[in-house]
Structures are given as C-alpha cells and as structure tokens.
Amino acid sequence: MRCLIRPLARDDILRQYRYYLMPGAAPVAAQRFLKAVKETVTQVCRLPGIGRPTVLDNPKLTGLRSWPVKGFESIRIYYLSPKTEIRIVRVLHSKRDVNLMLEQDTSEDG
C-alpha cells in the first residue's frame, strides 16, 4: 500500500526536529526523533488498523487514526487509511491543541 506524508505533516516533523536542535535542547534526540518517525510511519503503513480512532467534526478527516511515535509517545502520527493509500495528515505533540488544529484543517493536498 502506498504511503503519503502531507506537507503539513512534513512541516510538523521539521518543527519538532528543529526544536531538539535549539540551544539547551538535545541534538542527539533530534536524530533519534527522525529515525523514530520513519520507523513509526513504516509501521503504520504496514498495519494501518493499529491506530486509535480519532473522532472529529471535520468531514475531511473522517476515519482519522493516531499512533504514538516510538520513543516519543507524547507525539502522535495522525493518519487516514482509505483503501488505496495511507495519508499521514499531521505529526503533533500532545501539548498542542491537537483537536483544534485538526478541526481547522482544510488542506486538499495528498
């Protein structure tokens, strides 16, 4: 099955990576984070049913599921799994207003 990472999700990943590179942060964690995201995306794409359903009012995100990034459990991958592909919608830290961010998502990109 094909797996696509939407631009907003890529931005989320880069934002978190840059956070780990900030002075006083943990640069080693930055590399570990990227590796963990890659492994977790691969896992989700192999087993799309593993994620927890996330119910929102946003009709564009009907069927949304989430799964934690391995080793960074407060960061979750939000994805859709229509029949032909997996779409990684966002990669968000739980301290953010995740529901609001997802409810306001109007992206049409793949």
* SS3 sequence of 24-59: CCCHHHHHHHHHHHHHHHHHHHHCHHHCEECCCCCH
- pLDDT tens digits, one per residue of 6-37: 999 999 999 999 999 988 878 899 999 999 99
For residue 94, the one-letter residue type is S
Q: What is the CATH number of domain 2-103?
A: 3.30.2310.20
- pLDDT tens digits, one per residue of 59-82: 888 899 999 999 999 999 999 998
Q: Are 92 and 104 in contact (CB under 8 A)?
A: no
Domain boundaries, the chain: 2-103
- The more confident residue out of 90 and 25 is 90
Q: How many residues does the chain have?
A: 110
